[in-house]
Structure 1
Amino acid sequence: MDMTPTADDLAFESEVRAFLAEKFTPDLREGAARQAGVFAEGELARTWHRILHEKGWIAPTWPREHGGPGWTPMQRYIYERECGLAGTPSLPAMGIALCGPVIMAFGSEAQKAFFLPKMLSGEHYWCQGFSEPGSGSDLASLRTRAVRDGDHYVVNGSKIWTTHAHEANWIFLLVRTRAEGPKQAGISFLLAPLDLPGITVTPILSMSGEHEVNQVFLDNVRVPAEYLVGEENQGWEIAKYLLTFERGGGSSAGRLNAQLARLKQVAKEQPGEDGAPLWDDPRFRERVMRLETEVMAIDWTERRQIASLAAGAVTNGATASILKLSVSEMLQKLAQLTSEALGSDALADQRHALGLHANEAPIGGAYALTPTARYLNTRAATIFGGSSEIQRGIIAKSLGL
């Protein structure tokens, strides 16, 4: 399996680096450094979205005929690696990365023409309505009902842990359209504008202090039937297709390597209780080196997947689960060691305090802005997108266990 970049790949890498050097300005870097959640918030996300859209790079995985750049798998890998190493804002993925590919694969021509351009421009900001109270990892047990009434579906139920529903104006939903038979066979995939009567969004604050997630209540919401994607009761098939993008549709090695470099720098520069940096402790260095080995393994697994895709293979569900499991656990390990290296300076979230004293440097340096918030936020990484237990089950099944 040849992983050697071509001359075109190297030229593209130079183009990406030049673009980031010009467009990822110091103020955007500062804003990205203050983000502790999974995705960038508010105006930072919208600004970076506009910059990428103007360049034509907002949808790296989309084919050219739908407004994407038409990149090869290797170009996508290079782009995501360089963005990760630079620390660019992680843009909300629910529209471009998840719902967009679903509409391309299962949507009508009218749906493609209406929704895809608005996803690219940012006019439509999407959130994902999958999980429910009591239906998280066991997603097939969902109870939100959609009953056909003429040209509409009447939807009742609720969705929870709905990322950025307070920012979004559209939601894609899994709803139950048939009660009898196997529970997976009675689910449909429905799109809905969030300003429809009967939809209420209530905030949920995470233990990191971030307002990322929400609960969405649907009370007799009349959704036009034209917003059904695919066939009625085809939703489980569509959801499985979508989850391959959520669990393994991109490259995380760049961001993991950037966090690993940050951990090393903190451990070398931050004085401990005895005045010596934690890097002087060989046992701590050994823990860091173990993480470095694991990040290298993730990187090569992603490279193998890129090479397979370039050779015409389809996305492998087991590989996606391996990467989702490995990346989510690595995020937790890196956050934990970074907090340990910062010591007591990691305890306070200084972002809000420094908002009152913008000219003051954070105690413990720039790295001390968000470590505890990041640490707490990564606790959810092994739950959302399918818990680690679910991923291990998928991997075991693929091995015939």
Structure 2
Amino acid sequence: MDFGFTAEDRAFREEVRAWLSEHVAGAQERRTWERTLGKAGWIGLGWAEGGYGNRSATLTQQVVWAEEYARCGAPPRSGHIGENLLGPTLLAHGTDEQKARFLPPIAVGEELWCQGYSEPGAGSDLAGVRTKADLGSDGTYRVTGQKIWTSLAREADWCFVLARTDPDSTRHHGLTFLLVPMDQPGRIEVRPIRQMTGTSDFNEVFFDGAHARVEHVVGGEGAGWTVAMGLLGFERGVSTLAQQIGFAQELGRVVEAAVRSGAVGDPVVRERLVRQWAELRVMRWNALRTLGRGGDAGAPSAAKLLWGGWHQRLGELAMQVRGAAAGVGPVQWSPSAPYELDEAQHLFLFSRADTIYGGSDQIQRTIIAERVLGLPREPKGVV
């Protein structure tokens, strides 16, 4: 498939720009904004054929929407995990009843989701999950365990949880993909994690006998690994192109800072700026090519390797072009915010995690080696 934009796509882009220019300035708190998007039909583009979404949109038009949303500086999405991760997963693996129950509330911005994958000791090595789910005689699972690095857990209505339903299983066997309601006082506790940026974008989630209904198992009991891996593939889909728009905006601000500080006169700095620009263009065309071909084995891992390292190097460059001034900034002393970072400092500190979260670089290289190149599997249990 030759992935390109047609005249219809360009007309769609103009429609998107017009709507965003009219509504973004008045965007309110995040849940209200999700409802605004849903009412206008912008959530679940492409779901309409199954009767679950709003607008019918081609793949290229979904790319257009994601790019224009990022380009206009619209608010961060609270519904991203439900729309871009759980939605496609249910369309691929869910029952008709599950699709009918969960997709429409996502499409109108009424229900928000979080992801219960990573655990202490089972982050990039997801097969080491220890959270367990026991099926009771009443047809209800009791989920017990801990998840970590859970984005939006404090806002979410539901969490999709990877749990071990076979107590005698090991590694990727015996895992089940469960849909768990978050409103269970006494059974679910959410604790914010304070990062070195001073913010709390992630959370710990503790499950103490939390209930999940048997009809909310996706893909069947014991098939959780297959469903979870499918979901991780969706995580690197159209949304990566919107992410690259944000990257381009950050790069532009780094270039402006280099001009203001005079660092652009340094040939080494200038070469690094040009390299960042060129690598970003390569990432864009590679993402478009991959989408156009319907996805390649190993493509999600290759994309993660590319953008994780690129963004981390951009954070380092943002500090370099400012020189000594990068180490100081406004100070705001309070118990909740012991310091305040400017945009470049936040970029540098946050991007240190880019090569870890979402699957570390080591894990991505192993996936590419074993599943794409066919190299011998890495020995397990060797010290």
For Structure 1 versus Structure 2, the TM-score category normalised by the shorter chain is: 0.7 to 0.9
After TM superposition, the structure 1 stretch with the greater mean CA deviation from structure 2, 56-65 or 260-269, is 56-65
Q: 1:66 aligns with which of 48, 52, 59?
A: 52
Q: 1:254 aligns with which of 245, 250, 269?
A: 245
After TM superposition, the structure 1 stretch with the greater mean CA deviation from structure 2, 147-156 or 108-117, is 108-117
* Structure 2: distance between partners of 1:55 and 1:118: 14
**1:265 is the counterpart of 2:253:** no
Contact 1:244 1:317 (8 Å CA) reproduced: no
Alignment of structure 1 residues 289-300 onto 2, 5 Å: 289-300=274-285
Contact 2:66 2:238 (8 Å CA) reproduced: no
* Structure 1: distance between partners of 2:278 and 2:18: 30
Alignment of structure 1 residues 1-400 onto 2, 5 Å: 2-25=2-25, 44-60=29-45, 62-64=47-49, 65-92=51-78, 93-150=80-137, 151-196=139-184, 197-250=186-239, 251=241, 252-269=243-260, 271=261, 277-308=262-293, 313=294, 315-347=295-327, 350=330, 369-397=342-370, 398-400=372-374
Contact 2:45 2:53 (8 Å CA) reproduced: no
5+ residue gaps, structure 2, are 334-339, 376-383
Tell me: CA distance 1:376–1:132, structure 2 relative to 1, closer, same or farther (3 Å): same
* Amino acid of the structure 2 residue aligned with 1:187: L
Q: CA deviation at 1:131?
A: 0.8
* Amino acid of the structure 2 residue aligned with 1:5: F
Task: Report SS of the residue matched to 2:298.
Answer: helix
Q: Name the Cα RMSD after superposition.
A: 2.3
5+ residue gaps, structure 1, are 29-42, 272-276, 354-362
* Structure 2: distance between partners of 1:351 and 1:19: 38
Tell me: CA distance 1:57–1:133, structure 2 relative to 1, closer, same or farther (3 Å): same
* Structure 2: distance between partners of 1:298 and 1:68: 30
Tell me: CA distance 1:136–1:14, structure 2 relative to 1, closer, same or farther (3 Å): same
Tell me: CA distance 1:57–1:175, structure 2 relative to 1, closer, same or farther (3 Å): same
* Amino acid of the structure 2 residue aligned with 1:400: G
Q: CA deviation at 1:220?
A: 2.1
* Structure 2: distance between partners of 1:373 and 1:44: 22
Task: Report SS of the residue matched to 1:95.
Answer: helix
Q: CA deviation at 1:182?
A: 4.8
After superposition, what is the alpha-carbon deviation per residue over 1:210-255, rounded to whole angstroms, capped at 9, x for unaligned? 1111111111223222222221111001001100011344313322
Tell me the equivalent position of 1:39.
Answer: none
Contact 1:249 1:320 (8 Å CA) reproduced: no
* Structure 2: distance between partners of 1:200 and 1:256: 34
Alignment coverage as a number of residue pairs = 362
* Structure 2: distance between partners of 1:85 and 1:249: 15
Q: CA deviation at 1:283?
A: 1.5
Tell me the equivalent position of 2:336.
Answer: none
Q: CA deviation at 1:390?
A: 1.2
Tell me the equivalent position of 2:337.
Answer: none
* Structure 2: distance between partners of 1:217 and 1:47: 28
After superposition, what is the alpha-carbon deviation per residue over 1:157-191, rounded to whole angstroms, capped at 9, x for unaligned? 11111112112221110010013355312000111
Q: Normalized against structure 2, the TM-score is what?
A: 0.87
Using CA pairs under 8 Å that are at least 6 residues apart, name the structure with larger relative contact order, 1 or 2: 1
* Structure 2: distance between partners of 1:62 and 1:339: 43
Contact 2:257 2:322 (8 Å CA) reproduced: yes
Identity %: 38
Runs of 4+, deviation exceeding 3 Å: 1-4, 60-64, 342-353
Contact 2:143 2:211 (8 Å CA) reproduced: yes
After superposition, what is the alpha-carbon deviation per residue over 1:339-390, rounded to whole angstroms, capped at 9, x for unaligned? 333345544565968xxxxxxxxx9xxxx83221222112222222111111
Contact 1:44 1:89 (8 Å CA) reproduced: no
Contact 2:46 2:53 (8 Å CA) reproduced: no
* Amino acid of the structure 1 residue aligned with 2:12: F
* Structure 1: distance between partners of 2:158 and 2:11: 38
Task: Report SS of the residue matched to 1:217.
Answer: strand
* Amino acid of the structure 1 residue aligned with 2:43: I
Task: Report SS of the residue matched to 1:338.
Answer: helix
Tell me: CA distance 1:89–1:60, structure 2 relative to 1, closer, same or farther (3 Å): farther
Task: Report SS of the residue matched to 1:23.
Answer: helix
